[in-house]
């Protein structure tokens, strides 16, 4: 007959192998004999978590640490369960209890670092990841987490080294594969990046961003047929995924929407919120400065007197440029992740999670100035959003926006097969503005950003609502 220790070891091996029913039966037998066995409670909690019952798991693992207060793995996993439930203060307490018992516990250091990163303390997270690697230099999770910090800061060569080492140590680590692909793509090495995106997907990455980035890399390296097949497979596996549906439409040319759906925009920008600013910095992103220049042409002397809306504000890159003109500065965006970063700037008087067309329509004659930088590229048909902007402007108010320029095409707008944004013909933009009741005060052609070796050409448009409307 097996000893309790042997039974626990067998239950753990069954749990790790995914034989949940067998593990559950064995753990139940152990707890029948020894109801407060700390390891049996701990692993029963992990089993419940695998079955989707995180709340039930917390109760079991909490009992485990009450019975064995020095159980380091249980304290660490209790923190992980609280993280899953978004109970961050309790997660931090569990990790810190583990570290009080063993200050160089690598998993607890790395997990507490992840918590701090989620909370916006990037420097604190980085310090903890480095401590975890001092304790265990071959720790793939800490290497991946520190590499992700490099991505957030835009230090792509350093991130690549860390992430390549994580993949070397654990080739079947989908998160590290995905992040390594991002580091390579950011340096223009799209073919190499595609290999790692493929691997992340094959290893079961549940992040749609892996498919999205793979499609872009394939299109930009001339492998459009592979990109289309990737989009079809993605949509087949996730038929309700708005991002999959959008990219399939962009690549196939079938059922192309007049604008990106709210679900697509929200999912896309929530996924990129943390690394958004650093990524755009690497792309020589100029849209906020170009919008500010157009505002300055309309209002040469900033007097902080305009009621201003930053429509599609994202992380708030326009805020420091618009604030000198604004008596009040409101921001509006669909992405909660982006808005969280915008709030940290401390420059907005009000931030709202809203789709901009509906949001502007709900605020009649509320603004003297509406700025819309790099947002209308998610609209094909501009008529609705421009009409909403006109309604939200006071008489004589101004709308300044950017779109990506469509060249060599007789259509009004086109959905790009790789990145999934819309480009617009200048004549269509001018006609749409006029139809909405706007007077075009200026339209200039500018480089909005660079993607790889290519300059993304755009239009910067300044319009006024007539004084008498």
Tens digit of each residue's pLDDT, the chain (469 residues):
467 777 778 877 887 888 888 888 888 888 888 888 888 899 889 889 988 899 999 999 999 999 999 999 999 999 999 999 999 999 999 999 999 999 999 999 999 999 999 888 889 999 999 999 999 999 999 999 999 999 888 899 999 999 999 999 999 999 999 999 999 998 989 999 999 999 999 998 877 889 999 999 999 999 999 999 999 999 999 999 999 999 999 999 999 999 999 999 998 888 765 655 555 555 578 999 999 999 999 998 888 899 999 999 999 999 999 999 999 999 999 999 899 989 999 999 999 999 999 999 999 999 999 999 999 999 999 999 999 999 999 999 999 999 999 987 668 999 999 999 999 999 999 999 999 999 999 999 999 988 766 789 999 999 999 987 6
Cross-strand partners of 308: 329, 369
DSSP 405: E
For the segment(s) 148-256, the CATH number from 1.25.40.10, 3.40.630.30, 3.30.230.70, 3.30.460.80 is 1.25.40.10
CATH number 3.30.1360.100 is the correct assignment for the domain at 276-464: no
**Ranges of each domain in the chain:** 1-137, 148-256, 276-464
Q: What whole-number distance in Å separates Cα of residue 226 and Cα of residue 2?
A: 54
Structure tokens at 105: 């516990």
Task: Supply φ then ψ for residue 448, to 5 degrees.
Answer: -80, -35
350-353 and 326-333 strand pairing = parallel
At 368 the three-state DSSP class reads: strand
Q: What is the pLDDT of residue 14?
A: 83
How many other C-beta atoms are found inside a 10 Å radius of the C-beta of residue 301? Answer: 7
Structure tokens at 446: 């500018």
Structure tokens at 65: 């640490």
DSSP 51: T
Q: What whole-number distance in Å separates Cα of residue 99 and Cα of residue 109?
A: 7
- Domain 1-137: which CATH class? mainly alpha
Task: Supply φ then ψ for residue 335, to 5 degrees.
Answer: -95, 120
Q: 40, 74, 39: which is closest to 58 by C-alpha?
A: 74
Whether 1-137 shares its CATH topology with 148-256 is answered yes
Cross-strand partners of 259: 379
Q: What is the pLDDT of residue 140?
A: 98
Cα–chain center distance at 281: 16
At 35 the three-state DSSP class reads: coil
Q: What is the pLDDT of residue 70?
A: 96
Cα–chain center distance at 458: 24
Instruction: Give the C-alpha distances (Å, rounded to integers) separating 47 from 25, 141, 158, 236.
Output: 11, 22, 37, 30
How many other C-beta atoms are found inside a 10 Å radius of the C-beta of residue 172? Answer: 12
* Helix orientation angle between 208-220 and 174-186, rounded to the nearest 10 degrees: 40
Buried b / exposed e across 402-431, counting CB within 10 Å, b at 16+? bbbbbeeeeebbbbbbbbbbbbbbeebbbe
Q: What whole-number distance in Å separates Cα of residue 278 and Cα of residue 270?
A: 15
User: Which element (helix H / strand E) includes 89?
Assistant: helix 88-101
């Amino acid at each position: 007959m097996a000893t309790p220790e042997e039974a626990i070891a067998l239950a753990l091996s069954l749990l790790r192998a995914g034989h949940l029913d067998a593990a559950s039966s064995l753990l139940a037998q152990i707890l029948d004999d020894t109801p407060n066995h700390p390891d049996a409670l701990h692993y029963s909690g992990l089993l419940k978590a695998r079955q989707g019952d995180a709340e039930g798991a917390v109760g079991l693992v909490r009992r485990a640490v009450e019975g064995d207060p020095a159980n380091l793995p249980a304290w660490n996993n209790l923190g992980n369960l609280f993280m899953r439930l978004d109970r961050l203060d309790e997660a931090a307490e569990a990790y810190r209890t583990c570290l009080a018992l063993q200050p160089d516990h690598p998993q607890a250091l790395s997990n507490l670092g992840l918590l701090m990163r989620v909370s916006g303390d990037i420097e604190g997270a980085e310090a903890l990841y480095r401590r975890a690697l001092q304790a265990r230099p071959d720790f793939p999770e800490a290497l991946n987490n520190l590499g992700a910090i490099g991505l957030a800061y835009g230090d792509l060569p350093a991130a690549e080294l860390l992430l390549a080492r994580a993949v070397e140590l654990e080739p079947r680590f989908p998160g590290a594969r995905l992040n390594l692909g991002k580091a390579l793509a950011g340096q223009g090495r799209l073919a190499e990046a595609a290999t790692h995106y493929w691997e992340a997907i094959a290893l079961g990455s549940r992040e749609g961003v892996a498919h999205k980035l793979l499609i872009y890399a394939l299109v930009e390296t001339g492998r459009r047929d592979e990109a289309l097949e990737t989009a079809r497979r993605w949509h087949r596996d996730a038929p309700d995924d708005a991002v999959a549906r959008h990219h399939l439409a962009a690549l196939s040319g079938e059922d192309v929407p007049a604008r990106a759906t709210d679900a697509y925009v929200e999912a896309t920008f929530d996924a990129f919120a943390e690394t958004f600013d650093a990524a755009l910095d690497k792309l020589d992103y100029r849209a906020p400065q170009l919008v500010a220049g157009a505002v300055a042409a309309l209002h040469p002397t900033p007097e902080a007197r305009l009621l201003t809306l930053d429509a599609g504000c994202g992380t708030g890159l326009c805020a420091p440029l618009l604030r000198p003109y604004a008596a009040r500065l409101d921001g509006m965006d669909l992405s909660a992740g982006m808005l969280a970063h915008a709030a940290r700037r401390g420059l907005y008087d009000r931030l709202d999670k809203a789709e901009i067309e509906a949001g502007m329509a709900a605020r009649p004659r509320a603004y003297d100035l509406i700025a819309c930088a790099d947002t209308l590229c998610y609209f094909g048909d501009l008529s609705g959003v421009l009409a909403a902007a006109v309604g939200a402007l006071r008489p004589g108010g101004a709308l300044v926006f950017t779109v990506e320029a469509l060249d060599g095409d007789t259509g009004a707008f086109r959905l790009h097969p790789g990145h999934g944004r819309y480009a617009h013909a200048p004549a269509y933009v001018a006609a749409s503005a006029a139809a909405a009741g706007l007077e075009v005060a200026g339209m200039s052609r500018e480089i909005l950003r660079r993607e790889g070796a290519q300059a993304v050409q755009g239009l910067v448009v300044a319009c006024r609502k007539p004084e008498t409307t």
